[in-house]
Structure 1
Amino acid sequence: MTRSPRIFLLMNRAYAALARAADRRTKAEGDVSLAQHGVLFALTREDGLTVSALARMLSMGKPSVSGMVDRLAVRGLVRRQRDDADGRVVRVLLQTEGAALVARTKPVVREMNAALLAPFDEPEQEVIGRFLKHVADNAEDVLALGASEEKT
């Protein structure tokens, strides 16, 4: 019988290697960390998100994202603005320079993605995508305390 892959070990090693390499590339190409690039990219898709929404999207803590937004704002890549309808809500808005940075680095990210997937044919790439989406969308439910006991 074939031994099942050690998912936790492999995912941890893969994430660490991927994050290190991608972080070096985004710093070299745009002078931003991978996480900061994620904030900017998210804002190109939906400008005016709150720090809480960004934190959820990026699976990060609010304090970490808030600090990143502060650093990006100092550089003029984003700005914070109070919501017109509810002054308690602060929105993060992408600035022209931030949008230009993402436009410049987006092809690099596409290239990195293609390089990672190159050894795999299309059906394998679909399985990889499905697996990673499954993990991202369901890990909390699948691995929750007591989940295995509930199913038995």
Structure 2
Amino acid sequence: MDHYTRKNFVHTQSIGFLLARARNLLASDIDAALKDLDISSQQMGIIVSLSKGTASTPFELSKLLGIDTGLMTRMLDKLEEKGLLERSRDDKDRRVVNLTLTRAGTRVADAIPDIVPPVLNAHLKSFTRAEFEELRRLLGKFLGE
């Protein structure tokens, strides 16, 4: 089923536009909340993914977070410069780079669950539990999950 046609397409009402605005608003508010940790919301995604074991290589992070490999490399460089992660070559395949959090990176990862949920909850305060669950379900469906 086609939901958009040339006649009914209004870019400011399109799902893409609304998702982009929502993402930008959340990223801005999360960036502000993470300021004291000296990381951005994008860097937070890397740190949490490494902390939870969801990903351990730049390629896995790029795929998981939807970030191109060039930007991923630059973000990893910044996190390494800040002393939050280390890169090492894989023992079995020297082409593979493994990433691990440093002690400082682990401390940052441990602080994130105290900082980010209040930001998310502020944006979801007018949602009922059922609306919240439906939004998550619909976003998962949109993403093909």
With normalisation by structure 2, the TM-score equals 0.84
Q: Does 1:8 align with 2:16?
A: yes
Alignment correspondent of 2:71: 64
Question: What CA deviation, in whole Å up to 9, does each residue of 1:43-96 have, x standing for no partner?
Answer: 011177110100111111011111111111111100000111111111111111
Q: Is the 8 A contact 1:77 1:96 kept in 2?
A: yes
Q: Which has the higher helix share?
A: 1
Paired with 2:77 and 2:52, the residues of 1 have a C-alpha distance of 20
**Alpha-carbon shift at residue 122 of structure 1 (Å):** 0.9
Paired with 1:69 and 1:137, the residues of 2 have a C-alpha distance of 28
Task: Give unpaired runs (5+ residues) of structure 1.
Answer: 139-152
Q: Does 1:101 align with 2:108?
A: yes
Aligned AA (2:69): K
Alignment correspondent of 2:43: 36
Q: Compared with structure 1, are the counterparts of its residues 120 and 47 closer, same or farther at alpha carbon in structure 2 (3 Å cutoff)?
A: closer
Q: Compared with structure 1, are the counterparts of its residues 122 and 48 closer, same or farther at alpha carbon in structure 2 (3 Å cutoff)?
A: closer
Alignment correspondent of 2:33: 25
SS at match of 2:67: coil
Higher relative contact order (CA 8 A, sep 6+): 2
Alignment correspondent of 2:128: 121
Paired with 1:13 and 1:106, the residues of 2 have a C-alpha distance of 24
With normalisation by structure 1, the TM-score equals 0.80
SS at match of 2:79: helix
SS at match of 2:143: helix
**Alpha-carbon shift at residue 29 of structure 1 (Å):** 3.0
Paired with 2:55 and 2:28, the residues of 1 have a C-alpha distance of 29
SS at match of 2:105: helix
**Aligned positions, number:** 134
> C-alpha root-mean-square deviation of aligned residues, in Å?
1.9
Q: Is the 8 A contact 2:58 2:99 kept in 1?
A: yes
Task: Give unpaired runs (5+ residues) of structure 2.
Answer: 1-7
Aligned AA (1:15): R
Alignment correspondent of 2:137: 130
